Amino acid sequence: MRTLLCFLLSLSMLKLSAQVKKYTLEECVLIALEKNISIQQSEIDLEGAEIDKLDAFGSFFPRVNAQSQHIWNNGLSQNITNGLIENLTTQFSSFGGNVGVTLFNGKQNINQLARANLNIIARQYQLEDMKDDISLFVANLYLQVMFNKELEEVQRYQLELARQELERTQLRIEAGVQTQVEIYEIEANLAAQEQALVQAENATRLSLISLAQALLITDYDNFDIAEIDYVIPLSQILLEQPKNIYEKALSFRNDIKLGATNIEIAKKDIDLAKGALLPTLTAFYNYNTRISYSDRFLETGNLIETPIGVVKENGALVVSQFPERSVADPLPFGDQFRQNDGHSYGLSLNIPIFNGLSTKNNIKRRKLNLKRSENQFEQSKLDLENTINQAYNNAEGAFKFFEASEKTLKARKESYLMAEKQFEAGVMNSYDFIQTKQRYEIAASDNVRAKYDYIFKLKILEFYFGIQISL
């Protein structure tokens, strides 16, 4: 029965472990680049820059517009049927269209298109620079998990040693080789090791959660990193001079390229502002027509004699002839559309003379912005050089510290093994033995810490040298 329970428990643990997804560093970086909100926002900015380019490109095309309106007039007017003044409602429709094209506007459309192209390049550099920062951030979190896992294994190993020491001490006490007093230090050391293991497990758990949160993964229980047996090589990057690393970084770093592009954008802004001082020449063409829905008079060809007075001397009537007219329906829509149309076309020249100094002040502001961009670019290069020098010194110092921790660990281990033999032989008491063992434990922890400190600082230096982050 006990064997069956162990078998079923093993199956359940195997099934549980199979559900846990273990991610490599490369997979974590890809997930972060896909899900990171800041990167998504930067991609939206890039799409917006591409739309701005379409706007600038569209300024080269003619502007075509059409308009129409329908009007009702309500009020006193003459009824053409009976000639009386009445409240009437008349209707009219009008249609029109116009075409305009800019022939010259101080090259502002050309400069605007050039600026839009530069802005797209700038947004691309900004996006890539953000991806680099996210990759480095994820690598730091990933290495923190690796560090905590290895430190946890060290604590687990130390706990196992403490248990073995307790068992051997109990056997020696039973054999009368040691007294009961010796076991108290061993038991206290075991309790301290159990506490240290719990703290190490919690640190591993928290670092995994931090990494998962950076990847926007919420299933913490089924998230883990891949097991990597990482051997530290002597990187060739430490054989380079910081000046060489800096010169190479200037050639490919996206933040440097972004700064240089911002300077070009600032120069185009000055050209755009200066364009407002030049004349603007446009060509235009307009078309209009009008439709009436009122009845109309038509002449019949007959003449109507109408008395208009009398001759004073003989009383004879004075008559006048008027053409006879009849009331007809409005002309058909198509006929009126053609008969009532009109065309106008020409050139329009606008010469700026005085606009309250706004154009000149705008040019001055753009020049100040250029100086600001140039200063920011120089500052970014200085920051990069300082960062690389610091990263180089940090990596070099971390490597030396790691080498020293290796030697310390080796010496502490030898001291511990010798103390263990002396303790078993009864030559060394439990207090001195525990002190020696604790120094060995500290050396082991410091070695793990120095290892991953060197790995991360080395990866930072390689990152500035153009080497892709990987383990």
| Predicted confidence (pLDDT) per residue in 119-133, tens digit | 999 999 999 999 999
Nearest to 196 by CA among 433, 432, 438: 438
Domains of the chain as residue ranges with CATH: 20-61+105-278+352-464 (1.20.1600.10), 63-104+279-290+331-351 (2.20.200.10), 296-329 (no CATH)
d(C-alpha 268, C-alpha 341), whole Å: 45
Note the Cα 96 to chain centre separation in Å: 46
pLDDT at residue 20, as a whole number: 73
**List of the chain residues with pLDDT < 70:** 1-19, 77-84, 86, 177-179, 229-231, 233-234, 297, 299, 326, 471
Three-state SS string over the chain comes to CHHHHHHHHHHHHHHHHHHCEEECHHHHHHHHHHHCHHHHHHHHHHHHHHHHHHHHHHCCCCEEEEEEEEEEEEEEEECCCCCCEEEEEEEEEEEEEEEEEEEECCCHHHHHHHHHHHHHHHHHHHHHHHHHHHHHHHHHHHHHHHHHHHHHHHHHHHHHHHHHHHHHHHHHHHCCCCCCCHHHHHHHHHHHHHHHHHHHHHHHHHHHHHHHHHCCCCCHHHEEECCCCCCCCCCHHHHCCHHHHHHHHHHHCHHHHHHHHHHHHHHHHHHHHHHCCCCEEEEEEEEEEEEECCCEEEEEEEEEEEEEEECCCCCCEEEEEEEEEEEECCCCHHHHHHHCCEEEEEEEEECCCCCCCHHHHHHHHHHHHHHHHHHHHHHHHHHHHHHHHHHHHHHHHHHHHHHHHHHHHHHHHHHHHHHHHHHHCCCCCHHHHHHHHHHHHHHHHHHHHHHHHHHHHHHHHHHHCCCCCCC
pLDDT, tens digit, for every residue of 267-321? 999 999 999 999 999 999 999 999 888 777 676 777 777 777 777 777 777 777 7
pTM of the entire predicted model? 0.79
**What separation in angstroms does the CA of 224 have from each of 21, 81, 158, 443?**
6, 94, 24, 27
Structure token digits, residue 249: 């970084």
pLDDT at residue 83, as a whole number: 61
Burial (CB count within 10 angstroms: exposed 0-12, middle 13-18, buried 19+), residue 98: middle
d(C-alpha 254, C-alpha 265), whole Å: 16
pLDDT at residue 8, as a whole number: 45
At 150, give phi and psi (nearest 5°).
-70, -40
